[in-house]
Amino acid sequence: MFRKLHVCNLFWMSLSAVQLYCVRSDFTSSFLLCFLCHSLKTMSKFTLFFDLFVLQISYSSTATILSDKDRFPALMRTVPNDDYQVKAMLKLLSDNHWNWVGMITTDGDYGRSALNSFASQAAQNGICLAFKEVLPDSVTNPNVNSSIHRAVQTIPNNMRAKVIVSFAKPVYMQRLFEELLRGPAKDRVWIASDGWSNAGNQMKHLDFASLGTVIGFIFKSGNILSFRQYLKEMNSSRGANSSKDTSMPFMQEYYQSVDRVSVTSVLLNHIHSAKVFSIQMAIGAISQAVAQLCSKGEDCKTPGAVKPWQLLCALQNTTFKKEGKQYRFDEYGDVNLGYDISIWSTTGGTIKSLNVVAEYHPQNNSIKQTSPEAKWQLSSVVSKCSNSCEPGEVKKTVEGQHTCCYECIACPENHYSNETGEPQVSYLSLSPARSTACQLKSQELLDWEDGFAIVLLTLAALGITMALAIAMLFLWQRNTPVVRAAGGPLCQVILFSLTGSFISVVFFVAPPSNITCKVRQVLFGLSFTLCVSCILVKSLKILLAFHFNPSVHRALRRLYKPYVIVVACMGLQVLECTLWLVLHSPRPRQSPGPTTVLAECDEGSYVAFGTMLAYIAFLALVCFGFAFKGQKLPESYNDAKFITFGMLIYLISWVIFIPVYITTSGKYLPAVEMVVILMSNYGILCCHFLPKCYIIVFKKEHNTKHTFLKHVYEYAQKSSCSVGGGSMYLDSEGKTNSQVFIISHAFIDLPSSTGNADQFTGTVNLESPIPASTKVQVVSTMNLESTISESTKEQMPEPKCLSRTLTI
């Protein structure tokens, strides 16, 4: 079938191995292929066949390095690599709580790779190496005896390391066991790699009752009845002389020189079922790959027609069956079936090394017990550097030592340990020193039942009620002079924003959550920004109405865009709050104390929190400045005075808030901000709206157009006397009761019969008399009209201190 055939350690014959090396036959074939055995031989043979790109399949080479497809592109194998064997060993150690182990390996690629892999993965699993002995790789090395002797001396010096992992060769382990029997270091658990786990018959003369227990990891095996039947048929003369055996002239020659019956008996008793199963899988995979190539029209009869790389590609994509199960090579060219775990047992002077007690499944890194006796046999073995700590104690490692070696000390306060001795931090629980359990600390927060919280929530509810009631009153009296002079629709917006600000106070109470922590600050920030923005528009309007400097007036008139100002001010705050919520939003936090846990909100970014408050304070300062300049206005237009007081209350409240908030801690910290928010809201509500509500409800005679005109007239008299010969030109010749004064640059809210709220008069220079029957009408640049009828002229008093008067 194949041009070259190489089979190593297929089976043992007469207590010695019969190895069939690569044999060149005289027949021709279409493929060039070689079967390889152990890792070292595999790597050496691969170097030989690399230039020829000979496809190689190994049935027992487990070195991890062979999975490197850059170095071994044409190598496949039907056994898992040693990395999975290391994982299986560590799983066995972890399941039995063995964390202090020794290791013996050889100084070669196979041994060094196993040592490095085991050491690194053991550290990740909390397993420490008590010692590691590296023996020469070659048995002919002159240092072999001294290395074995050193290992024998090391083992008794580590009495706590009851478990020893070995990746050494069988001959080394035999000599090691022979020397250990002469010394005190006995009764160990030996974990054997696949390299010597099935070499029990070589050591049957040893007393393993004294040496301890050997746990071996062997390759998965399957049904090999067909192979046994083949060996039995070879015993018959018909089988030996039949045409079936013409492909094995070596066996024909061998049977002619020995007793056929005895040889067959030895063969049947010394079959390595795992290796036979691996070889069968390799041959099955090749057969399936060749069949696929031939079925696709490839020329399988002409030598050299099918290239090795074509066979390699077919193997990599082939799914083959064995005993009803499907297998395929993984991306590294391996068939990973897992491992059988066996415990050596002595029966009648022989050692049974294939006594399977468990299975390792690499898919989920688990070990499945198949024999309950094994678990009982290993349960008494303790391999630890330090004994487990008692409940109420915690491990304390010494710097520079292994983490597996520690001393047990009493658990400090706020710590406890359970039965495993592992420390558990209990910052949110109450646990005195040397505790084995913990009690939850009481939670501290500003809740609904707190007396102070009840007072603040009552004030917030009262504020919401007042805001809604005033909004309804202003809506009912929306066409009256008082409401129009107060701002008209802007009042409804201000009251709406104050309602939102009062509602934000509610979110400062009760256990904090992600929602409440985010809503409370953002809701207050946006609501109060909207409120101050509307007040800013009112302040600018008042300043524009009564500012007599023409250049300043023109600048203010260009600046006065009410809706643009409100939207711009709100937009900046919305942007700032959005960035705050997206980048570093507020969140709930639990701060442990000695006996309690404080539930509070972490503001996330205090820079963002401060920026939000600083922006509102800036708008309030601008309002305060505009309003302060217009505080000496007519009595009906005294909003500037109330705006000044409202903004002053807000600024003083938040100036006091800053140091109090920084220096306060505990559950009443949210109450500090609640108090300041309520003070700010009530300051604006009382200063802006309560006086107007008083006029609407109790002083209805003041809520008329006549009263407002009278106040404007009186303000004009005072302004005229103070400015002397300013921008007013009035005739002083006629001083009768039918005199009307038109004020320069006056922004006056005079409700007319047509329902216009905003009245404006421009600069008027009157140098000639106007007929008495004429109505004076001046239209501003804002297209607002002011009309003063003759019916109101007779009610105005005679002017004083005027340089000129206008007679109508």
Structure confidence by residue, pLDDT tens digits, 227-236: 888 777 776 6
CA distance 91 to 339: 12
The percent of residues above 90 in pLDDT, for the chain, comes to: 26
- pLDDT attached to residue 644: 83
Label the pairing between strands 350-352 and 212-219.
Answer: unpaired
Most confident stretch, 170-184, 389-403, 786-800? 170-184
Q: Fill in the amino acid letter for 282.
A: A
Q: Give the tokens for residue 84.
A: 């999975």
Does the pLDDT value for residue 122 go beyond 90?
Answer: yes
Q: Is residue 784 very low, low, confident or very high in pLDDT (cuts 50, 70, 90)?
A: very low
- pLDDT attached to residue 316: 84
- pLDDT attached to residue 305: 76
Q: Is residue 767 very low, low, confident or very high in pLDDT (cuts 50, 70, 90)?
A: very low
Q: Is residue 258 very low, low, confident or very high in pLDDT (cuts 50, 70, 90)?
A: confident
CA distance 460 to 453: 10
Q: Is residue 46 very low, low, confident or very high in pLDDT (cuts 50, 70, 90)?
A: very low
Q: Is residue 57 very low, low, confident or very high in pLDDT (cuts 50, 70, 90)?
A: confident
For 462, list phi and psi in degrees, rounded to 5: -65, -40
Does the pLDDT value for residue 674 go beyond 60?
Answer: yes
Q: At what angle do helices 669-684 and 451-476 cross, to 10 degrees?
A: 20
- pLDDT attached to residue 677: 94
Q: Fill in the amino acid letter for 802.
A: L
* 41-50, 383-392, 614-623: segment of lowest average pLDDT: 41-50
736 or 553, higher pLDDT:
553
- pLDDT attached to residue 236: 63
Does the pLDDT value for residue 461 go beyond 90?
Answer: yes
Does the pLDDT value for residue 166 go beyond 90?
Answer: yes
DSSP state at residue 396: E
| 3-state class (DSSP) for residue 216 | strand
| Domain annotation for the chain: domains and CATH numbers | 4-79+271-336 (3.40.50.2300), 82-220+340-378 (3.40.50.2300), 406-440 (no CATH), 451-702 (1.20.1070.10), 715-795 (no CATH)
Does the pLDDT value for residue 785 go beyond 70?
Answer: no
- pLDDT attached to residue 289: 86
CA distance 477 to 342: 97
- Answer yes or no: are the C-beta atoms of 109 and 80 closer than 8 Å: no
Q: Is residue 211 very low, low, confident or very high in pLDDT (cuts 50, 70, 90)?
A: confident
- Answer yes or no: are the C-beta atoms of 604 and 579 closer than 8 Å: no
- Answer yes or no: are the C-beta atoms of 596 and 444 closer than 8 Å: yes
> Quick one: average pLDDT of 526-533?
94
Q: Fill in the amino acid letter for 137.
A: D
- Answer yes or no: are the C-beta atoms of 327 and 319 closer than 8 Å: yes
Q: Is residue 788 very low, low, confident or very high in pLDDT (cuts 50, 70, 90)?
A: very low
- pLDDT attached to residue 797: 45
> Quick one: average pLDDT of 347-372?
82
H or E segment and range at residue 343: strand 339-343
> Quick one: average pLDDT of 504-526?
92
> Quick one: average pLDDT of 436-448?
77
Q: Is 216 exposed, middle or buried (0-12, 13-18, 19+ CB in 10 A)?
A: buried
Does the pLDDT value for residue 624 go beyond 80?
Answer: yes
- pLDDT attached to residue 744: 33
CA distance 62 to 34: 17
For 470, list phi and psi in degrees, rounded to 5: -65, -40
| 3-state class (DSSP) for residue 428 | coil
> Quick one: average pLDDT of 570-587?
94
- pLDDT attached to residue 85: 92
Comparing C-alpha atoms, which of 497, 539, 520, 722 is closest to residue 637? Answer: 539
Does the pLDDT value for residue 684 go beyond 60?
Answer: yes
> Quick one: average pLDDT of 557-570?
85
- pLDDT attached to residue 724: 44
Q: Per residue in 702-726, pLDDT tens?
A: 777 766 666 666 655 565 554 444 3
Sign of CA dihedral 214, 218, 221, 227: negative
